[in-house]
Amino acid sequence: MLLLIGKLVMGMIVTDNVSVRFLVQPGGALKGRIRVPGDKSISHRSIMLGSIAEGITKVSGFLEGEDSLATLNAFRAMGVSIEGPDAGKVTIHGVGLKGLKPPSQPLDLGNSGTSMRLLSGLLAGQAFDVELTGDHSLVSRPMRRVTEPLASMGARIGTTEKGTAPLQIKGGQPLEGIDYNMPVASAQVKSCLLLAGLYANSRTCVREPAPTRDHTERMLAGMGYPVTTENGKVCLQGGGKLMAASIDVPADISSAAFFLVGASIAPGSDLLLEHVGINPTRTGVLEILKLMGADIKVLNRREVGGEPVADLRVRAAQLHGIDIPVEQVPLAIDEFPALFIAAACAQGRTVLTGAEELRVKESDRIQVMADGLQALGAQAEPTADGMIIEGGTLNGGCVDSGGDHRIAMSFAMAGLRASGPIKIDDCANVNTSFPDFVSLASSVGLSVSNE
């Protein structure tokens, strides 16, 4: 029997044994109304910017997953007083741009690439030395994409020979603003450089080759920090001040994506997802599913704390394969594991290109998803920058998630169309973004359990 044994450390669940297996029984439909957990990207940024703002920032809807808690604990370790989280509510007593204190030990960021890449920029301008580390997956991911442009600003950051963490950041380095053209669209790189730019002596500009999520720019502006955005170029001047604000974190569209796909592929489904963030830099999953023939209605549009929000009603529909538009790829980069399941259940061929970023996520999501789909009898051909999937039927079987939370949850939804039970191994990291996934999914009709 496979067990998850956890302990509470500084408010975060730490897994002692990663042998967690999901068992999904075949069939069923998704019905009802649910609110998925808060947006992970916005939760991270609320802690980071609230900590270096002047005054008290109050956050509601905070995602109490391991990744977001890793960021919260990092700032506590640097002297920031943070109350909560308590039912998604967090109170942050900001210390200002220069009020952080040196931590007594390396900052362990667990599995969170967002924490490490954004913090590398924010901490490059501090007066103290600090080391950033994480779990086995995190310390294997590429970090030169942030350390090299930071070095051009004057930062001194040590890495391994492979350009991976642990990162040793040398304090007391004067930073100069840069005008940086990102070779690959990446919200993490953009945000990292903008956060470093807060501490620079001059103006920092980042040009992106395609739109990426803009939560950092929106939150900076909401805290009174001037940011300009024009024709794919984002700029700010260093040396300003952030003022505390109230932040209402909407439900995460990346978490909603599993249910959007599940309800689309399972006959008889009719599901309402409440209070979902529909930031236009994040809605690629909606556009791609609609191109595939999904029946998704966007209801009750509104704006909450500078972020657009809506309720999403999704009903079962016969999906068909498409060539995924390359301009939608950066807008759905985290949702492709779920979209691959949709493609495997669609009629005809789906082709994804331009998504080489998927190979350096929590896992090589192209290869791990292809292996899992093939294990269930699907025709899935991985390519250097995407995948070719022939839609058809899915069998039961055993799948290894590669320790990747999004892959584990995607294959759970595949059970709605499988001909037999699906066992999904290495699912502990679902806690990084969706701690209550099994119970919430079960409440609307997915037959999933921790075996």
Does residue 39 have an active-site annotation? no
CA distances from 20 to 9, 14, 26, 173 (A): 20, 13, 19, 44
Sign of CA dihedral 336, 341, 342, 346: positive
b/e code 344-357 from CB counts within 10 Å (16+ = b): bbbeeebebbbbeb
3-state secondary structure (DSSP) of residue 20? coil
**170 Cβ contact partners less than 8 Å away, ≥ 6 residues apart:** 129, 155, 156, 157, 158
User: CA 347, 348, 352: angle at the middle one, nearest 5?
Assistant: 115
**26 Cβ contact partners less than 8 Å away, ≥ 6 residues apart:** 396, 415, 416, 417, 418, 419, 420, 421, 422, 447
- Find the catalytic residue in 334, 400, 425, 426: 334
Place of tokens 């290109």: 353
Q: Does the bond joining 308 to the residue before it have cis omega, within 30 degrees of 0?
A: no
b/e code 399-410 from CB counts within 10 Å (16+ = b): bbbbbbbbbbbb
CB 242 within 8 A of CB 279: no
User: CA 121, 123, 124: angle at the middle one, nearest 5?
Assistant: 65
Q: What DSSP element (H or E) covers 73?
A: helix 66-77
User: CA 120, 126, 130: angle at the middle one, nearest 5?
Assistant: 60
3-state secondary structure (DSSP) of residue 350? strand
Residues recognised as catalytic: 334
